[in-house]
Structure 1
Amino acid sequence: MKRSLRRFLASLIAFTLAITGLTVAAAQSASAADPSSAYLLVHFTGESSDGEQIYFSASTDGKYWNDLNNGRPTLLSTVGTRGVRDPSIVRSPDGTKFWIVATDLRIASGSGWGNAIDNGSRSIVVWESSDLVNWSAPWLLDVAGPIPDGRNAWAPEAIWNPQTNSYFLYWATNSTRNGVTTHRIWGASTTDFRSISTPQLYIDRGSQSIIDTQIVERDNSAGGFKYYRASGDGQITIEGANSILGSWTYVGDLRGQGLTGSDVEGPILFRYNGTTQTFGMFVDQYATGRGYLPLVTTDITSTANWKVRPRDTYSMGATTKRHGSVLQITAGELDRLKAKWPSAASRIQSYNFEDRFVRHANFQARIDQGVAPYVDSQWILRSGLAGGQAGTVSFESVNYPGYFLRHYGFEVRLEKNDGSSGFAADATFTRVAGLKDSSATSFQSYNFPDRYLRHSAFSLRIDPIGSDTDRQDATFRVS
């Protein structure tokens, strides 16, 4: 074989391998998409001067929530009434786009509820994003204008409908039908949230007003329905169906839990990560102004299975959270959100004891469940005190400003920063991929790099890591 031909074949083989490698890598990247491991709560806070805007809160477990952007709005409406309530967030089936839809309403402007009910905005407010952190300018989408005697458009929601290959967008409108004026749920299809099909009546309770409805999809291989919806219609009513536009069957309400429509509204439904059967529900305690109350079930097919979470097993964060929605997100998406809109305080959750969080107690560091006071488990993650090198952190107590976690004799405790280089080194850790789970986090000692922060008998210390148990004990989730 001539050398020129050999060189040509060698080049061809190399090129083919390169292309093959690129193809395989691309396929692996696409198929190895991060699983959902955290949650984003989109909400408003109330009728304060900036309460009727878009707020973000995040959680790694769906139970303990931290306010992003230090509890300030993340998105502001510059259209319509220049205020929004009842936001809902939806992800496209391929994961490349997100939309937020919200009520175009600002009670804080002084317009009053009577005007909002009978002569409110017929449009909803929409934002679009491809990454959850960079959002378009908001726009108005007229949804109630085509409805005869349509007087407003409240509490919009959206869900992908595979039967129509489009989103089903639905909302409440006050209008008169058959001599009865009340709120009913209307719906339309859309592919881009810029135009919709002709609105059709979706839920009519006769003379009973219905405003808040949210639908969640479920794996119904174990029985029950494929879709469940919760509505505020005098009660928090749960219904089930096997298609979004099909016939819905009454399942029950929350009176057995002592929750009626006089107490709560604005239900949120969401599925917990890593399970097909565990669901959460938040109901807005509007009557007392206390924001969301969480419930949980492992069997959504009966309302008797919903349980109110005990008060010491959750925290909704510092801000009052009103009618919104929950989106399951990946660890990477959570990191982007926290980088764009940092929270003043973080919590550090044990990987293998998910109900326990790093806290200080009598100035000792440990992991506990049901931390009280809650603020004992909140930390400000500062740049490492030992020079602030990239990737290093120091943990400052929220309720003891100037006090940091540091190791001493390899045990970890909370001490006041004395300004010394020794303290700075002891209080600095390098943040690395989780030793047990790369989607989580481990903390390597800055001045003893062969040791990592871990819990042992629930107390914190720094140790060398060898066994699988060690790796679990040294892995945490930061929220």
Structure 2
Amino acid sequence: MTHPSRRHFLGMAATVPLAATGALALGAGTAHAADSAYVMAYFTESTTMLEADYGLHLAVSTDGLRWMPLNQNNPVVTPTLGAGGLRDPFVLRKQDGTFVVLATDLKGTDWNRNSVYIHVWDSVDLRSFTGYRLLKLHDMTGTHSWAPEAYWDAGRGQYGILYSSVNSSGHNVIMVSYTTDFRTTSNPQVFFDPGYDVIDGNLTVGVNGVNYLYFKRNQTLVGARSTSLNPGSFTAFSTAVSHGGTEAPTVVKSLASNTWYLWGDTYTPNGVFYAWQSTDLASGTWTPLDQRLYTQPLNSKHCGIQPITQTQYNNLVARWGAPAWNRLKSYNCPARYVRHSGFLGRIEAYPFDPYPDSQWKLVPGLADSSGVSFQSVNYPSRYLRHYSYALRLDENDGTSTFAADATFYRTAGLADASWASFRSYNNPTRYIRHADYALRIDPISTATDRQDATFQVGY
């Protein structure tokens, strides 16, 4: 999202502070030994704000990198108090194993609207939400309570709620207010103020005795650390990372390896998530992650991530449902997705509107049910078919020729067997591939051809 002043409204994110030794860490995003999946909370915006929705959205993942939106990428609950909308939702698993959801009280991009409140819901399992309320964080007038995140402070026996506000010096700082029940708070104070504008504090607690706070400074993501959770004890130390203007740092620990991921979000309405990786938080250095390895939920903004069990994952999918559509990502141009534009098939860089141009129903093949046909979501009477070898989106005229042209066999990816390729039904020596970003069917012979003809079927 874009804010007209230097005080960019930034998103908040949870952490998965699982120590490198496998020991459990206390704090935001605390992982349990039984965890094997993740849930993400987010809101949505798109390039023309066609998909601007300021309710609570959820997605799930088994690896923390490729995400499946729930409830067809629609909100699972929508705030009705305050501004009537949310930004930057955050999910915390509390000490009793239940969840609490926090979010900024702001709908849209009315940056001049200040609120001392945040939205709060309770949930046993993220399948239902109860106790909806506004929670007051401080008494400072004329400032905001942006991007809330919570963590357990064992030494205090309380939860700390981090958020961004403007201090008496006129710049953004990370504040903290304490609570035991997420119904009342006390003792608001500055948690981190390095003397310059900072926002979006994301806390990872108890990694080999050190706590890590990532935040946004000057459109980059920077880390600070402390051996205590005392306000004022953190010192910046890391190398800054960014991909253009980047906000909303989210530190996530892999549940299957000793790898940490740092997510960041571009702050324009057409936000794109980027990820970096590290095997050592103490080093403060991050390496960009190949975009082939991760896919954000469609039009997602400013996420919060929490580890969950496989049972919780299964129950969430059963409750909210998997998408009835797919998106196809290009293997060798992983920032691009298959879409129709002017009723022609092509790959274009995400994000774009109308975003339903990139949503497809992979239905049984029109000419052979063991194959697949690509039905458009926003033009459901139209299918991708080849015509003079070029792919275009045409009305199904009911003929056998159309059915044959619109049918493909899904195979193991020609460049990567974990991905997919699609062989033409009636031109079996030809596969769907992109050439100068246009989709067509061609014979495949070279390594470049194989990469052009390989796609990830995801969401």
1:297 aligns with 2:278: yes
Asked whether the equivalents of residues 44 and 51 of structure 2 are also in contact (C-alpha less than 8 Å), the reply is no
CA RMSD, 1 decimal: 3.6
Separation of aligned partners in 1, 2:276 and 2:35: 21
Separation of aligned partners in 2, 1:282 and 1:295: 7
- Structure 1 residue 55, shift from structure 2 partner: 0.9
Separation of aligned partners in 2, 1:372 and 1:204: 36
3-state DSSP of counterpart to 2:238: strand
Separation of aligned partners in 2, 1:299 and 1:459: 28
- Structure 1 residue 79, shift from structure 2 partner: 0.6
Aligned twin of 1:253: 239
Separation of aligned partners in 1, 2:157 and 2:361: 51
Letter paired with 1:101:
L
Separation of aligned partners in 2, 1:371 and 1:330: 30
Give the alignment of 1:443-458 within 5 angstroms: none
Asked whether the equivalents of residues 36 and 329 of structure 1 are also in contact (C-alpha less than 8 Å), the reply is yes
1:401 aligns with 2:363: yes
Aligned twin of 2:106: 105
Aligned twin of 2:352: none
Aligned twin of 2:199: 211
Q: What's the TM-score once normalised by structure 2's chain length?
A: 0.63
1:269 aligns with 2:251: yes
Separation of aligned partners in 2, 1:271 and 1:414: 39
1:186 aligns with 2:171: no
Aligned twin of 1:93: 95
1:133 aligns with 2:127: yes
Pick closer, same or farther for the CA change 1:374–1:62 going to 2, 3 Å: farther
Q: Which residue, 265, 278, 288 being the options, matches 1:308?
A: 288
Separation of aligned partners in 2, 1:204 and 1:286: 22
Aligned twin of 1:426: none
Separation of aligned partners in 2, 1:240 and 1:170: 15
- Structure 1 residue 274, shift from structure 2 partner: 3.2
Separation of aligned partners in 1, 2:274 and 2:178: 31
Separation of aligned partners in 2, 1:169 and 1:84: 17
Paired positions, count: 327
Q: Which residue, 151, 157, 180 being the options, matches 1:165?
A: 157
1:200 aligns with 2:202: no
Aligned twin of 1:321: 300
Pick closer, same or farther for the CA change 1:99–1:151 going to 2, 3 Å: same
Letter paired with 1:230:
Y
Question: Looking at both structures, which has the greater relative contact order when contacts are Cα pairs under 8 Å and sequence separation is at least 6?
Answer: 2
Asked whether the equivalents of residues 66 and 346 of structure 1 are also in contact (C-alpha less than 8 Å), the reply is no
Separation of aligned partners in 1, 2:269 and 2:79: 27
Aligned twin of 2:390: none
- Structure 1 residue 217, shift from structure 2 partner: 2.6
Asked whether the equivalents of residues 375 and 399 of structure 1 are also in contact (C-alpha less than 8 Å), the reply is no
Asked whether the equivalents of residues 291 and 335 of structure 2 are also in contact (C-alpha less than 8 Å), the reply is no
Q: Which residue, 203, 224, 235 being the options, matches 1:239?
A: 224
Letter paired with 1:248:
F
1:308-337 superposed Cα distances (whole Å, 9 cap, x missing partner): 2112222113x2221121000111111111
Asked whether the equivalents of residues 365 and 371 of structure 2 are also in contact (C-alpha less than 8 Å), the reply is yes
1:177-213 superposed Cα distances (whole Å, 9 cap, x missing partner): 2xx222222112111100111211111233x222211
Aligned twin of 1:343: 322
Unaligned residue ranges in structure 1 (runs of 5+): 1-32, 348-358, 362-367, 377-396, 408-412, 417-454, 461-477
Asked whether the equivalents of residues 51 and 299 of structure 2 are also in contact (C-alpha less than 8 Å), the reply is no
Asked whether the equivalents of residues 313 and 370 of structure 1 are also in contact (C-alpha less than 8 Å), the reply is no
3-state DSSP of counterpart to 1:253: coil
Higher helix share: 1
- Structure 1 residue 292, shift from structure 2 partner: 1.4
Higher alpha-carbon deviation: 62-71 or 289-298: 289-298
1:441-464 superposed Cα distances (whole Å, 9 cap, x missing partner): xxxxxxxxxxxxxx9x9699xxxx
3-state DSSP of counterpart to 1:240: strand
1:232-285 superposed Cα distances (whole Å, 9 cap, x missing partner): 122311011222226223222324xxx27x61011111211134x421111111
Letter paired with 2:253:
R
Asked whether the equivalents of residues 50 and 73 of structure 1 are also in contact (C-alpha less than 8 Å), the reply is no
Asked whether the equivalents of residues 174 and 183 of structure 1 are also in contact (C-alpha less than 8 Å), the reply is yes
Q: Which structure would you say has the larger Rg?
A: 1
- Structure 1 residue 166, shift from structure 2 partner: 1.4
Aligned twin of 2:63: 61
Pick closer, same or farther for the CA change 1:48–1:202 going to 2, 3 Å: farther
Separation of aligned partners in 1, 2:365 and 2:263: 35
- Structure 1 residue 151, shift from structure 2 partner: 1.9
Separation of aligned partners in 1, 2:315 and 2:417: 31
Q: Which residue, 259, 266, 291 being the options, matches 1:285?
A: 266
Letter paired with 1:213:
G
Aligned twin of 2:401: none
Percent of paired sites with the same residue: 26
3-state DSSP of counterpart to 1:151: coil
Letter paired with 1:170:
L
Pick closer, same or farther for the CA change 1:399–1:129 going to 2, 3 Å: closer
Pick closer, same or farther for the CA change 1:331–1:152 going to 2, 3 Å: same
1:336-377 superposed Cα distances (whole Å, 9 cap, x missing partner): 111121122589xxxxxxxxxxx9x9xxxxxx999998779x
Letter paired with 1:228:
Y
Separation of aligned partners in 2, 1:73 and 1:199: 31
Q: What's the TM-score once normalised by structure 1's chain length?
A: 0.61
Unaligned residue ranges in structure 2 (runs of 5+): 1-31, 340-358, 374-411, 420-457
- Structure 1 residue 174, shift from structure 2 partner: 2.3
Pick closer, same or farther for the CA change 1:288–1:138 going to 2, 3 Å: closer
Pick closer, same or farther for the CA change 1:86–1:198 going to 2, 3 Å: same
Structure 1: which 4+ aligned runs deviate by more than 4 Å? 47-50, 368-376, 457-460
1:152-177 superposed Cα distances (whole Å, 9 cap, x missing partner): 211111011111111111111124x2
Aligned twin of 1:45: 44
Separation of aligned partners in 2, 1:49 and 1:459: 31
Letter paired with 2:228:
S
Letter paired with 1:219:
V
1:404-434 superposed Cα distances (whole Å, 9 cap, x missing partner): 9x99xxxxx6357xxxxxxxxxxxxxxxxxx
Separation of aligned partners in 1, 2:222 and 2:322: 35
Asked whether the equivalents of residues 83 and 104 of structure 1 are also in contact (C-alpha less than 8 Å), the reply is yes
